[in-house]
Chain A
Amino acid sequence: MNKQKLYKIRMRETLVSYAFLAPALLFFVIFVVYPMISGVYTSLFNYTIRKFDFIGVDNYIRLVSDPIFKKSLINTLVIVLGSVPIVVLFALFVGLTIYEKHSAIRSFFRCVFYLPVVTGTVAVTVVWKWIYDPINGILNYLLQSAHIINEPIMWLGDKRFAIWAIIIILLTTSVGQPIILYVAALGNIDQSLTEAAEVDGANRWQVFKNIKWPGLMPTTLYIVVITTINSFQCFSLIQLLTSGGPNYSTSTIMYLVYEKAFKLGQFGYANSMGVILAVIIGIISFLQFKFLGNDVEY
């Protein structure tokens, strides 16, 4: 086939492909790409309901010295560092416990641990608010009945507990997907390898460490990345339960962006926070792929 003919075929394929892509691209450009570029651009402006003045990187300078932003950043990191390792261990535990069971049993447990996700953030949040209620909630009731605590605790109103109370709810809504992924990945591990190892007298821990864990590495990596991204974006729980309080002790960057933009009308400043959040997520995802990815054998 000569070059010209090849080019002609390629051009035809390209035209057809773009025709098929057109609807998706239309939505993607209007509702993702354009807002993304506009968000970065307007973060360089003093942009409120009335004003739209170019101020360069002043929003970013203001961020560095903003104590509330700093507090929110730390809270965000606490949520991420608190939830990611627990989610991975939890999902791994459940995955290992159920993956060899009968398929109906596996389906049952997958449903159980996915239930809080499907129930929906708002429904889950209102019921936990009730559970945490200092006077009418069952948590304080149970803890007091068991004599673990003497005084009712304001789980969501006390600076010492609020963020942990939120992390616990976040955990219940985060493990469903990782469990599904681990069960699938464990099912794909070559059984003959583990059997051979067992015949050779390897104990369970050795089988796990030398065969299962390395085989699960790509899945673990994927789970770490999606859980990190999700934890960074923790918003609804906070908006519904504490509005970032008490005294910004549960505020996250996500929540702060919302507050600045939709409660205070500081659009440019909110956008600069959004940009920083995107950059942080980008860097962390990249590092996780780079470092955790080293152990991955394809």
Chain B
Amino acid sequence: MKDTNALSSRKKKTTVADIISLILLFLLTFIFVFPFYWIVTGAFKDQKIAVQLPPQWFPTDPTLTSFVTLFKNPALQWLWNSVFIALATMVLVCLTAALAGYVLAKKRFYGQALIFSMFIIAMALPKQVVLVPLVRMINALGFHNTMAAVILPAVGWPFGIFLMKQFSETIPGELLEAAKIDGCGELKTFFNIVIPIIKPGIAALAIFTFITAWNDYFMQLIMLNTRAKLTLPLGIATLQAEFATNYGVLMAGAALAAVPIVTVFIAFQKYFTQGITMGAVKG
């Protein structure tokens, strides 16, 4: 993905339409950034200040009382659960998807078309269809109310395979041929030749999976139910039921859930964008 846009942009006459567009764009920017801003600043407001009107647009005397209340709940445990679930899902998805995507792109074998179309169809499937049987399966496997109950079904989701297939298409066939002639085994070829080439793809998938797993509230809600097992998003949802309108505490929780993931996102934005773009190119 070369950055050709900026280079080739020529000086054009700025018209009234351009100015209106820019004004609108900045207005929208404000609307999109505001909720995040309100979370982060709200976290440092005392409940009394949080609900006062006219609102305090910036916390003039920031306080940690909301965080103190928050940590009376097992919020650190929730944070750890979220991190573990997101990391484990990420590693498993990247591994299984890289292996599968590579052969789907570069090998010709019996049943290939069938398997690939099954993956494609499943991607459009709403999770709710498989909801009840999935929960039953998790219970049968003895994973009820464990992190595995959230991690394993996410690994079954075929988006990663699709993305890795897209990236694997770019591996030059001659390179694989050459490896074969040199007597390089299949696994060795995969780790020494394929992996280095599709590394940016793996990075994209890793960051994408991490964010998706971190925010997969639905699966967490269905699968986890005792207080110590919750994730951060699920924990906040529980707090919302208990604290109703204690917005200070809720924002402290929301900030704890959002700030790490937003930081990760901004740090790896380049890979993430690439992943989304590649995932959309129809194969």
Contact = CB atoms under 8 A, between A and B. Distances in A.
B100 A21 contact: yes
A285 B124 contact: yes
Contacts of B186: 16, 19-20
Interface in B1-50: 1, 3-6, 8-9, 17, 21-22, 24-25, 28-29, 31-33, 35-36, 38-39, 42, 50
Interface string B86-101: 0000001001110110
B220 to A, nearest CB: 9
Contacts of B157: 32
Secondary structure class of chain B's binding surface, majority of residues? helix
Contacts, number: 286
B250 A10 contact: no
Contact of A110 (B96, B152, B240, B269): B269
Interface stretch (A56-64, A81-89, A153-161, A256-264): A256-264
A134 to B, nearest CB: 11
A232 B129 CA distance: 12
B54 interface: yes
B132 A222 contact: no
Which residue, of B119, B155, B255, has the highest number of chain A Cβ atoms within 10 A? B155
Interface residues of A, number: 101
Given A39-B132, A285-B124, A141 B269 contact: no
Contacts of B234: 122
Given A16-B186, A126-B240, A191 B8 contact: yes
Contacts of B60: none
Given A119-B39, A285-B124, A35 B100 contact: no
Interface residues of B, number: 100
B125 A278 contact: yes
A267 interface: yes
Contacts of B9: 100-101
Contacts of B17: 204
Contacts of A119: 35-36, 39, 254, 258, 261-262
Nearest to A270: B132
A24 B100 contact: yes
B170 interface: no
Contact of B129 (A24, A36, A109): A36
A219 B132 CA distance: 34
A191 B74 CA distance: 56
Task: Tell me if A's interface is mostly helix, strand, loop or mixed.
Answer: helix
Contact of A274 (B22, B32, B129, B269): B129
Interface string A251-289: 001100110011000010011011101100110010000
Given A103-B3, A119-B261, 14 more contacts: A10-B108, A17-B103, A32-B125, A35-B133, A38-B133, A100-B9, A119-B39, A120-B257, A122-B236, A133-B245, A184-B277, A254-B126, A274-B128, A274-B130
Interface of B: 1, 3-6, 8-9, 17, 21-22, 24-25, 28-29, 31-33, 35-36, 38-39, 42, 50-51, 53-55, 92, 95-97, 99-100, 102-104, 107-112, 115, 118-119, 122, 124-134, 136-137, 152-153, 155-158, 161, 186, 190, 211, 214-215, 217-218, 221-222, 233-234, 236-237, 240, 245, 247, 250-251, 253-255, 257-258, 261-262, 265-266, 269-270, 273, 276-277, 280, 282
28 contacts: A13-B108, A13-B109, A20-B186, A27-B92, A32-B158, A34-B137, A35-B137, A38-B133, A39-B129, A93-B24, A107-B269, A110-B269, A113-B32, A115-B32, A116-B32, A124-B35, A127-B42, A130-B247, A130-B251, A172-B32, A184-B277, A187-B5, A225-B124, A236-B217, A253-B128, A261-B131, A274-B132, A281-B126
